[in-house]
Structure 1
């Protein structure tokens, strides 16, 4: 443990702003700066002590990152702008962690923000090939439904594939959404905080009859979150004691199996998730049985369900039983998305990964209030972006 503590980066502070509907939030500069100030205050640091910044966002011009941190300070430090679709925030965290552990810097800021438009996600640049063209071709060939918005078709198709292969049901998905609503009741950062029953979810308008209702999909939101990542030596010198260790972290991208096996679950990143999780478990000399709390990428209830299995939290085909036994909530094996997840907070693409980090750091500090998980052990973060990228992170109290 002493050797582990000596080499792994720490999260010294996190900050975020409440997520809001498009058109009702501050602009990305104001949200980003507020999240940065929150993370610095949490760490007890000044912006002048930050040596590098990784700023993540999907929808914005090329140097938005600079504009989001300039209100906090203009110290001339390097600012790197990061875009990795929905895994952008955790990619910024990955780069910050890697920079610290390489010895290139001792105190690095990871920032994620998004100022989104209402409605389904769509391409902005229509005069060039889209990175989603191969995903569109594959999904329409395998399952049809070309009239549906792409993300709904991809993740709904993955859920349908699981239903056909493993017998999961629409009620399983409704249970996931109802669980998310119960968790979100006590999260002041979540957009949707009303508690829902399984019947509420099942009776909401169908987006794909028999496969998905409206309440099984996360809403687009605007928001920002940030984390200060430091070396153990920096934390010691600055007297920062309330840190959380990044015990292991892995990023994966697609392999040919994403398209060659005609498997909708693999099209949306099941393989990427499994490989990233296994790499983390191996690096941490741990296993899924050591996870007490997790923030999973539940852009749709369907992705949470298949991710249980990809992350090894239950056996392949075991997700329905995992849900029915309450092993995904308080009193069960792994409390998943105690924040309420994307289904309740919403999904400001660039901010999502760092919002997950914010929740898990508080859980490991024992500072999550009514959401606190008893004896969380390792905390797992799973953030995925189609196109593709998956980042899995394991946190531990040092």
Structure 2
């Protein structure tokens, strides 16, 4: 005969823990949700005793029903979670957001814009606010979010909501102006997800480009084009390619075709819309014994660490992605005004295009 299963020990409540420690229930709640309201010593005492007694913290759903706030901030990412956490720019942005949320006792919920709306966890509807990052593959998820909650977009425009951008067009004008000061014979541009329909290869007259209100890369292209015009090039005659995903695996086939063109057709300057694209060009050019910058000059955009640690060091535009995240987080928490913000960038002259 099986032994009876012993009953589970009673679940300790917030009031039980407060009584055990001789502190108020507000102090217990603050230890978990508003650490800035307590001394470090008191907070550590509360958390230590909570661990010993098996108390995991105030129930988020109950708190949400009681106060109307969950202390959850959702970040909706344009890409998959795996891609975003491995991408240097996206991970810096998330680190900046998390820094602010941690300091003010909020939880970060990550969502992918590539999820079907049916896959979105129920906690998404409990969030106190939403930070939307990057060009969404479909508006379906955004349309399903509660309209009464604050929403901030980063590197993306949503009508009626504040946005956080860097100065994409002026930054690309500046880096292209630098590159064109030594006139190339055959400049080319490698875009990042700039066509309305999927295109991983040459951009032709049959392709329609996304507008500046849909993607920041259109603003980057306008900066390149303005510099080309100022240096006597007709932008319509400068060849362009489009990359669908900012990864080596997706970039490589497009770039291999560019570099394998005959010598008299291959570009001698490539203006790239991301450092990942530019680094892929450098790697594949080296494999073909093309000298950088003697045979091919290359520029990037983002200023990721990898581009500055390897040789040749990238000429690029550095954007402070972590600060973009901090600004968006402060805005969503109401710690700073919810208004459009435009951040400056820094031109970095490296060896890939001296």
The answer to whether the superposition gives a TM-score over 0.5 is no
Give the TM-score taking structure 2 as reference length.
0.24
The higher radius of gyration belongs to: 2
Give the TM-score taking structure 1 as reference length.
0.22
